[in-house]
Structure 1
Amino acid sequence: MHRRTSAFNIVSVVLGLVFLYVPIAILVIYSFNDSKLVAVWGGWSLRWYRALLDDSAILQAAWVSVRIAFMTACLATMLGTLAALALVRMGRFRGRLPFSAMVYAPMVMPEVIIGLALLLLFVAIDIERGMITTTLAHTTLTMCFVTVIVQSRLLAFDWSLEEAAMDLGCPPFRAFLTVTLPLILPAVLAGFMLAFTLSLDDLVIASFTTGPGATTLPIRIYSEVRLGVKPEINAISTLMIAFVAIVVVAASLLTKRYAATERGEARREPS
């Protein structure tokens, strides 16, 4: 039985999409504005993209953010996948409750508290604040999201496939790499992309843990917006939106291609 789509549902969806994407569309359009005043339209132009090439400070901040986000995503994906494996495969082990609480705490804890706590930790152990401390802080924040995504996939995983590989003489680690990891790879990639995006977007935690020479793009934009929005900010924001969109689309296509390949191989296998 098909549910009838009501006018209320359609209007709700349209209003939700407008609320989410109209501000982004306006930002993208005004990044091509020829006027020096960001709120006054002066015609189409690439003027501020050319000016952006001469703004070394904001370009450096963007490059720092991308590097931190990539390192964060790699660390968070590895640690989050291992945590998900421990929670699913080891069952109700001793210390599971505090372990789960520590893994999931950053999801519900205010970022201000996380940033302040990590700042006090780095000061106490005398680590100079910079890219390393920001990466570690972002890994702490994003690892729990990777754990949730990968754990949801592992809960539906058929562990007899891995056991069959080990029965045929495959070592446990190799069985994980050749059997388990390829099957949960879409969830791992989704966790990687989410960690990358959250790190790229973070302002609060980075403001506590960053140092000289490691200013991220959100911090740079926030510091400049307080003095007034420059047209170059619209341009760099549009470029970052395009970059994230391209990465997400590429990851989605890669996942779909991998899933299609797996289905094709399964159909070719003899019954």
Structure 2
Amino acid sequence: MNPTWSRFNITSIVLGFAFLYLPIVLLVVFSFNESKLVTVWGGFSTKWYVSLFHNQGLMDATWVTARVAVISATVATVLGTLAALTLTRYTRFKGRMLFSGMVFAPLVMPEVITGLSLLLLFVAVGLDRGFLTVTLAHITLTMCFVAVVVQSRLITFDRSLEEAAMDLGAPPVKTFFQITLPVIMPAIVSGWMLAFTLSLDDLVIASFTSGPGATT
């Protein structure tokens, strides 16, 4: 039974990876196709990449997208980490349920609703749509994901390490930066990478909140 199940598991894994990554491999291969038809191989060529890098509009949009992703991911990581610390360390405070609901609302809300809500908010406060509004929207979208990742690490964090450091005379700030932060740093980095990826992937919210000079 074990060899049979082993072969079955290996076959399932191989088929699963092929299903996920084979289309990507084919896409990369056919990006060097001389022909415009994806079903006909016309020979190896890099002309499409040359055309891409000479398209100023696409390059400008790519640069804006990268800037939005880096800035929004960085700010979302800071805010999401602070939110996770607040929800984990302070389990009872007035308005905790409201705060938690506001932080994690984008997780359950459709992106169309989030984008439309942010658009109405920006219009109400008189904020012109552009680079700033897209960045703020992506911070709102990605902060909750960072909070989830960091909070999951904080829940399993051994608080006795902090208590031991403070018993030895370390102030709370020094304890955080020398004990807590190094332990949760992998979760923070993972949260930043997730936020960066989500920002790059987003189209719906950006289409609602972008404006002149902020084409992504």
* Paired residue type of 1:202: D
* Paired residue type of 2:94: R
The change in CA–CA distance for 1:114 and 1:180 in structure 2 (over 3 A counts) is same
- What is the correspondence of 1:114-263 to structure 2 with a 5 Å cutoff? 114-216=114-216
CA displacement, residues 78-123 of structure 1 (integer Å, 9 cap, x when unaligned): 0111111111111233322222211111111100000000000000
* Paired residue type of 1:165: A
* Paired residue type of 1:79: L
Tell me if 1:91 matches 2:91: yes
- Per the alignment, residue 14 of structure 2 pairs with 14
**What TM-score results when the alignment is normalised by the length of structure 2?**
0.92
How far, CA to CA, are the matches of 1:39 and 1:212 in structure 2?
Answer: 37
* Paired residue type of 1:96: R
Uncovered stretches (5+) of structure 1, i.e. residues with no partner: 217-271
How far, CA to CA, are the matches of 2:94 and 2:7 in structure 1?
Answer: 53
Runs (4 or more) in structure 1 with deviation over 4 Å come to: none
- Percent identity between matched residues is 64
Q: CA deviation at 1:12?
A: 3.5
CA displacement, residues 10-54 of structure 1 (integer Å, 9 cap, x when unaligned): 443333222211221111111111123344321112111122221
How far, CA to CA, are the matches of 2:212 and 2:121 in structure 1?
Answer: 18
Q: SS of the residue aligned with 2:5? A: coil
**What TM-score results when the alignment is normalised by the length of structure 1?**
0.74
Instruction: Figure out how many residues of one structure are paired with residues of the other and give that number.
Output: 215
How far, CA to CA, are the matches of 2:90 and 2:149 in structure 1?
Answer: 18
CA displacement, residues 235-260 of structure 1 (integer Å, 9 cap, x when unaligned): xxxxxxxxxxxxxxxxxxxxxxxxxx
- Of 51-60 and 106-115, more deviation after overlay is shown by 51-60
Q: SS of the residue aligned with 1:5? A: helix
- Per the alignment, residue 66 of structure 2 pairs with 66
How far, CA to CA, are the matches of 2:108 and 2:101 in structure 1?
Answer: 10
CA displacement, residues 105-160 of structure 1 (integer Å, 9 cap, x when unaligned): 11111000000000000000011111111111111111111111111111111112
How far, CA to CA, are the matches of 1:48 and 1:38 in structure 2?
Answer: 13
- Per the alignment, residue 56 of structure 1 pairs with 56
How far, CA to CA, are the matches of 1:47 and 1:53 in structure 2?
Answer: 10
- Of 97-106 and 190-199, more deviation after overlay is shown by 97-106
- Of 155-164 and 175-184, more deviation after overlay is shown by 155-164
* Paired residue type of 1:95: G
The change in CA–CA distance for 1:32 and 1:167 in structure 2 (over 3 A counts) is same
Q: Please report the RMSD computed on the Cα atoms of aligned residues, expressed in angstroms.
A: 1.8
* Paired residue type of 2:23: P
How far, CA to CA, are the matches of 1:4 and 1:93 in structure 2?
Answer: 55
Uncovered stretches (5+) of structure 2, i.e. residues with no partner: none
How far, CA to CA, are the matches of 1:134 and 1:115 in structure 2?
Answer: 10
